[in-house]
Amino acid sequence: MENTIAWRKSSQSTDAEGNCLEVARLGEDILIRESDDPEVVIRTSPAKLRAFLAGVAQGEFDDLA
């Protein structure tokens, strides 16, 4: 799986240990994983990711950060 997926991370991810979220597209799906635990992958749709990111942009999850 790793050889065919182009994982990307935010330029804001500056953790010296490389702990960050990474995203990739596989067909119609969006994949999300943590760089320090790459075997655990969340698979979602672009529509669900857009809805989540809209909530993040509106501050709905600020209490978690």
Q: CA 38 to CA 65: how far, in whole Å?
A: 21
Residue 18 token pair:
């490389």
What pLDDT, on a 0 to 100 scale, did the predictor assign at position 48? 98
What pLDDT, on a 0 to 100 scale, did the predictor assign at position 45? 98
Residue 46 token pair:
């672009």
Core vs surface per residue 1-32: b (16+ CB within 10 A) or e: eeeeeeeeeeeeeeeeeeeeebbeeeeeebbb
For 4-59, write each residue's pLDDT tens digit: 899 998 877 776 666 789 999 999 999 999 988 899 999 999 999 999 999 999 99
Domain definitions of the chain by residue range: 2-56
